[in-house]
Amino acid sequence: MRLTNVNVALVGFGNVGQALARLFLRKEAELAERTGLEVTVSGIATGRHGMAIDPDGLDFQRALQLVAQNQPLESLSKRACQDLDVFLNSCQAEVLFESIPVNYQNGQPALDILKRALSLGMHVITANKGPVVHGYFELSRIAREKGRRFLFESTVMDGTPIFSLFRHCLPAVHLQGISGILNSTTNFILTRMEAGESFSKAVQMAQDIGIAETDPSGDIDGWDAAIKLAALATVLMGIPLKPQDVELNGIREIDPEKIHAAIEQGKRWKLVCRATRNGSEIQAKVAPELVSADSPMYNVNGTSSIVQFETDTLGILTIIEQDPSPDTTAYGLFADFIHAITA
């Protein structure tokens, strides 16, 4: 089989970007055999380790080694580059992967990065919820005008195929409501508290295993859950919803006494997301709820997640994701890549 080479660039090379690099290396032969594609990495841009550009191909393995050693990437580069706009103009990529930290308020700077990449004729694939929530309709329009793809499977529940499920397998379905547990960090914290840990110790454990940031407020105050719910509603219901429009209440008020009282009732506290279509508007809420044993959410513990879709054709459709990791997020990006190039 004659192989088709595809130049790709990465903006963001943290846990997810590095997991994607390892996945491309591991799947190199399989990708060539099944799809006839081979990948050349023409650029990597990071916030902590600088930028590297080489349209003829960077050494992915060496890039991973440098980052693991906390070394800059410039030694891999054919040209010096410190400006992201110059990077985008010079990397000669056909596909841009973006996985920088999310901005709940306006999606920047990721939103402008994706706009620029699309305008330059690249397919864009993101793991970042911000651009989806704050720029879905505009980015989709630019992608159509340029004949490119804007894909984002990894933004909600990692690599679980939610958006592509509706895009490819559920034509003309009418989505009436969404509910679920979408933030794995708070679910982990509440599970640890059920085991007897204090709130602060459970948060520390989440930070130690890498699922909570140094500042965990985005998780425990509900912003991460709200922006995921907003992404699902915006894309699948076709009605714009911002996290600022979601009625929001995090888990700070859930203390050991409340956890113990729930257990005595045979219930559990969960941070539950709900969005309901109301004509041309969406009513959305993220808040702790007492969940009884007859609910599918009851046994979704630890870092696992669940989403339920209320449809006009299939009733309630439920998807559960067990114990995600950067590797599962990377797979969502990888799958989007194949769909973008082979569609």
Helix boundaries (H) for the chain: 15-26, 28-35, 60-68, 84-90, 110-119, 129-146, 163-164, 184-194, 199-208, 217-220, 223-232, 256-264, 326-342
Token pair listed for 306: 């669940």
Which residue shows structure tokens 């192989």? 3
Evaluate the omega torsion of the peptide bond into residue 109 and state whether it is cis, within 30 degrees of 0. yes
DSSP E strand stretches across 279-335:
281-292, 305-311, 316-321
Token pair listed for 21: 């690099």
**What are the Cα distances from residue 271, in Å, to 31, 175, 185, 195, 212?**
39, 22, 10, 17, 16
**Which of the residues 146, 201, 228, 285 is marked catalytic?**
228
What is the distance between the alpha carbons of residues 117 and 9, in angstroms, rounded to a whole number? 10
Please enumerate in sequence order all residues whose Cβ is within 8 A of that of 84, keeping only pairs 6 or more positions apart, or say none: 11, 45, 51, 109, 113
CB atoms within 10 A of CB 139: 23
Task: Give the DSSP letter string of 63-91.
Answer: HHHHHHTT--SGGG-SS----HHHHHHHS
Token pair listed for 82: 């410190």
Q: Specify the 3-state DSSP secondary structure of 333.
A: helix
Q: Specify the 3-state DSSP secondary structure of 267.
A: strand
What is the distance between the alpha carbons of residues 228 and 163, in angstroms, rounded to a whole number? 12
Q: Specify the 3-state DSSP secondary structure of 4.
A: strand
Can 228 be counted among the known catalytic residues? yes
End-to-end CA distance of the chain: 19
- Active centre residues (catalytic): 228
